[in-house]
Amino acid sequence: MSRTHTVVPSPIGPLTVVREDGALVRLLLNPPTEAERENLGARSEKGFEDVVRQLDEYFAGGRTAFDLPLRPAGTGFELAVWEQLTRIPYGRTRTYGAVAKAVGEPGGAQAVGAASGRNPLAIVVPCHRVVGADGTLVGFGGGLPRKRFLLDLEQRDDRLF
């Protein structure tokens, strides 16, 4: 198992990206905690060219989906939720309840919220596209201002002004 990481500048702050044997396993929006730093692996710029390019394209408004090898670690339920998040179209949102129904857990909105909060691949697995039942912005590990930024970035073509 070969784990490496790099830090990628972005409009929402530095992103720490972690790869293991070629697959993306973490994308941190916040600076890593001490415990997280122990699991980042060596810092390297090599092997991250595709991730950096795709993130740059996303933030420039030219990429609507990511094409990267992913290997998130989670429970079966978390993996099902994260997979469902990748199906939310660019520029659109879904409620936690709608995601719960899509993974076969109607009434499981809180469980979906918890799984979304543990999403190890923010942005690439777009948990920022999940909103409260009334459409309000709730629950985002990177903070609500970043969530608003990401949604505004994706919806800019739909806004009149």
Please name each of the domains of the chain with its CATH number. Answer: 3-59 (3.30.160.70), 76-158 (1.10.10.10)
The long-range contacts involving 52-58, CB below 8 angstroms and separated by at least 24 positions, are: 52/6, 52/8, 55/8, 55/10, 55/15, 55/123, 58/123
Q: What is this structure's pTM?
A: 0.90
Q: What is the pLDDT of residue 53?
A: 97
Q: Which residues are annotated as catalytic?
A: 127
Q: What is the pLDDT of residue 55?
A: 97
Neighbouring residues of 11: CB distance < 8 A, sequence distance ≥ 6:
59, 149
Q: What is the pLDDT of residue 97?
A: 95
| Ordered per-residue pLDDT tens for the chain, 161 residues | 689 999 999 999 999 999 999 999 999 999 999 988 888 999 998 989 999 999 999 999 999 999 999 999 999 999 999 999 999 999 999 999 999 999 998 889 999 999 999 999 999 999 999 999 998 898 888 889 999 999 999 988 654 44
